[in-house]
Amino acid sequence: MPFLYLRAIALIMIMFGCGFLGVFYSEKFHKRVLHLVDFQNALNTFKFNVDFLESPLYEALKNIATESSVVKKIFENISDKLRNFSNVRIDEIFKEIIHKFEEELFIKDEDVSILVEFSDKLGQGNKEHEINNINLALMKLKLSEEMAREEEKINQKLYRGIGFLVGIFIVILLV
Amino acid sequence: MLGIDLIFKVAAIGIIVAVLNQLLVRSGREDQAMMTTLAGLVVVLLMVIEQISYLFETVKNMFGL
């Protein structure tokens, strides 16, 4: 009799474990949207710093405050690196820092390329050029966010469903 | 008793594969839906292959072949 209970508990654990895996996997689509929104907020703050406060690049990057700690950490790291090493290219720093936080970030390669492209043109022109560059990056991020939202709508339900169904499938095979 | 269990198992797998198939088709992954259906079919075939072999054996014995 205890063996039966143990077996039932193990089967329930397998089922919910698979379901949880599905939910966990589906969360990455939601997190991608959140991170894209955070990057847009960060760039808006950056735009304000450049346009109205006219702060230097490292200070403008340092002042970026967003809800997500990862995005904030990225910009803080970039700012620190810029202040400490004046002879390095900013796009290289962007690439390096984004690569460093790769595991915490849920954005795709195409989103990273938008940010790297933005950083490539950063600090190379006057204020107007900088604002245009930020606006362009914001526009691209907005488009990316819309696509990410559509992807989230489709994939979130799918992965949750697949997780639980695969769990039930395994349970049926084991019974 | 075993036969009935097997039938229920196959039915349950059929239902799950059908739901998975619908989920995948609705999210535009027809290829994966096809693969899932095939995987379900293979699993069910593996489950019933012993019974099929038993059936052939019985038929052979019945006709003395």
pLDDT digits (tens, 9 = 90+) for B14-62: 999 999 899 889 888 889 999 999 999 999 999 899 889 999 999 999 9
Query: And the tokens for A94?
Result: 């962007």
- In this predicted structure, what is the pLDDT of residue B56? 92
Q: What would the pLDDT profile of A1-13 be if each residue is shown by its tens digit?
A: 678 888 899 999 9
- The 10s digit of each residue's pLDDT in A54-109 is 777 777 777 776 666 788 888 888 888 877 776 677 778 888 888 888 888 888 88
CB contact under 8 A, A161 and B16: no
Confidence of residue A133 (pLDDT cuts 50, 70, 90): confident
Query: How much is the average pLDDT of A124-150?
Result: 89
A165 at the B interface (CB within 8 A)? Answer: yes
Q: A165, B20: Cβ pair inside 8 Å?
A: yes
A169–B9 CB contact, under 8 Å: no
| Record: contact B27-A158, CB cut-off 8 A | yes
What integer pLDDT is reported at residue A45 of this predicted model? 85
Tally of domains in chain B: 1
Residues in chain B within 8 Å Cβ distance of A157:
23, 27
- Nearest chain A residue (CA) to B23: A158
In the numeric block, which tokens belong to residue B64?
């003395």
Other C-beta atoms lying within 10 Å of the C-beta of residue A144 = 20
Is the minimum CB–CB distance between A171 and chain B shorter than 8 Å?
Answer: no
Q: Which residues of B touch A173 (CB under 8 A)?
A: 9, 13, 43
Tell me, what's the pLDDT at A9? 92
Q: Residue A83 to residues A52, A76, A95, A131: CA-CA distances in angstroms?
A: 21, 11, 17, 22
pLDDT cut 70: percent of chain A above it: 96
Do A162 and B19 count as a contact with CB atoms less than 8 A apart? no
- Percent of chain A with pLDDT strictly greater than 90: 22
Q: What is the pLDDT of residue B35?
A: 92
How confident is the model over A125-147, as a mean pLDDT?
Answer: 89
Which pLDDT value is given to residue A56?
75
Nearest-CA neighbor of A19 among A173, A170, A161, A175? Answer: A161
What whole-number distance in Å separates Cα of residue A31 and Cα of residue A23? Answer: 12
Q: Which of B16, B27, B29 is the closest to A168 by Cβ?
A: B16
Structure confidence at residue A116 (pLDDT): 85
Q: What is the mean pLDDT of residues A23-46?
A: 89
Interface A-B: count of C-beta contacts within 8 A: 30
Pick from A150, A153, A173, A174 the residue to mutate for testing the B interface (most B CBs within 10 Å). Answer: A173
pLDDT at B1 over 60: no
ipTM of model over 0.85: no
In Å, how far is B59's CA from the nearest CA of chain A?
Answer: 29
More confident residue, A166 or A83: A166
Does residue A154 surpass a pLDDT of 60?
Answer: yes
The whole-number average pLDDT for the span A34-57 is: 84
Looking at residue A71, its pLDDT comes to 84
- B26 is in which domain, residue-wise? 2-62
In angstroms, the CA B60 to CA B56 distance is 6
